[in-house]
Amino acid sequence: MLNFCTLFDSNYLLRGLALYNSLKNQCTNFHLYIFAFNDLCFETLSKLNLDNATIIKLKDFEDDELLKIKPSRSKGEYCWTCTPSIILYSITKFQLDHCTYLDSDIFFFSDPKILIDEMGKKSVSMTLHNFHPNHDQSEASGKYCVQFMTFRNNKKGLEVLKYWRYKCIEWCFNRHEDGKFGDQKYLDDWMTRFDCCYEISNIGAGIAPWNLENFQIFREKDQIICKKHDNSLSFPVVFYHFHNLRFENSNLAKQIGYKINPHICSLFYIKYLKEINNIFKKVKNLAKNQFFDFNKKTSLYKYFSTKVIKNNYQFNKKGLIKF
């Protein structure tokens, strides 16, 4: 069985459920441990009775060390701080032989088992940002992306995980300071600091707005395929990272900060956005009066930012993706 964990609150609930559904569609045997970071998220997820998931309340997971530093972190910073802790909690509490952390805004297009198999006997695996030169933020954001990371339940894997947890509790902020940034820059030297870490080579792991220009991406039968422009090797896309995707209403969305062409929209975005819309229709009924229609200011989607950035790619003059 493949073991995964993720964290999100009600603001990211729809994305988290889209992640779960994509795992269910692509994996033959998996379990997802979901850490619900507010009560509304926990209550709504519990009503869904997800077959392949365990829902963990924030208060059941938080320990003294996390609670001590919690007031010093923003909501986002605290989520970053907790990332290694939810992996460690999942492994120890549920006695897992391994656990893979997933960002809640990724979506699988093929089976992630190939990525876990690739690490072989290594204890920790990491995925590259693979920044295109036009979007290179590796100096600021790090070489690796905390989006898909596997840790094995062995001495070396737990050593790395506990080191990362210690560093994040010590310092994890949304700013650049002394070579640090959030939870992510800590990973930069792991390949030399530890002898048990593995850098995933499959380029289908983590297709994202910041690296699209590195690849040719096309559909082949029932799979989406990617390959480097200077390389004949091709890989099925395992997952896409929908970073900074913002919603306007029930059928309009915006990819903030990157130009996304119609071909990429047709391959990735339309399917994802329709999935989000279908989940919303189901969830708003379960949550009764706590979720509202898209067009109301009280909508769940207000948290996804309604600001429109002009002069970015667009299906229409306002720069919006219609789905």
pLDDT digits over 136-161, tens only? 899 989 999 999 999 999 999 999 99
Is there a domain that residue 229 lies in?
Answer: no
Query: Which domain, by its residues, includes 268?
Result: 244-322
Is there a domain that residue 175 lies in?
Answer: yes
Q: Is 173 helix (H, G, I), strand (E, B) or coil?
A: coil
Average confidence (pLDDT) over 261-281: 89
Residues 48 and 187 in one domain: yes
Last residue of a domain, one of 181, 200, 219: 200
Residues 193 and 297 in one domain: no
In this model, does residue 26 exceed pLDDT 80?
yes
Residues 36 and 161 in one domain: yes
Is there a domain that residue 119 lies in?
Answer: yes
Residues 143 and 253 in one domain: no
Is there a domain that residue 84 lies in?
Answer: yes
Query: Residues 291-305: pLDDT tens digits?
Result: 444 334 333 333 333
Are 113 and 170 within 8 A, CB to CB?
no
Residues 71 and 165 in one domain: yes
Per-residue pLDDT band at 219 (split at 50, 70, 90): very high
Residues 163 and 28 in one domain: yes
Sequence letter at residue 89? Y
Residues 173 and 263 in one domain: no
Q: pTM of the entire structure?
A: 0.90
Last residue of a domain, one of 142, 177, 200: 200
Is there a domain that residue 6 lies in?
Answer: yes
Residues 92 and 159 in one domain: yes
Is there a domain that residue 19 lies in?
Answer: yes
Is there a domain that residue 220 lies in?
Answer: no
- CB within 8 A of 289, min separation 6: which ones? none
Residues 190 and 263 in one domain: no
Last residue of a domain, one of 139, 169, 200: 200
Number of domains in the chain: 2
Are 31 and 1 within 8 A, CB to CB?
yes
* Dihedral, 255, 259, 263, 264 alpha carbons, nearest 10: -50
Residues 148 and 76 in one domain: yes
Per-residue pLDDT band at 313 (split at 50, 70, 90): very low
In this model, does residue 280 exceed pLDDT 50?
yes
Is there a domain that residue 57 lies in?
Answer: yes
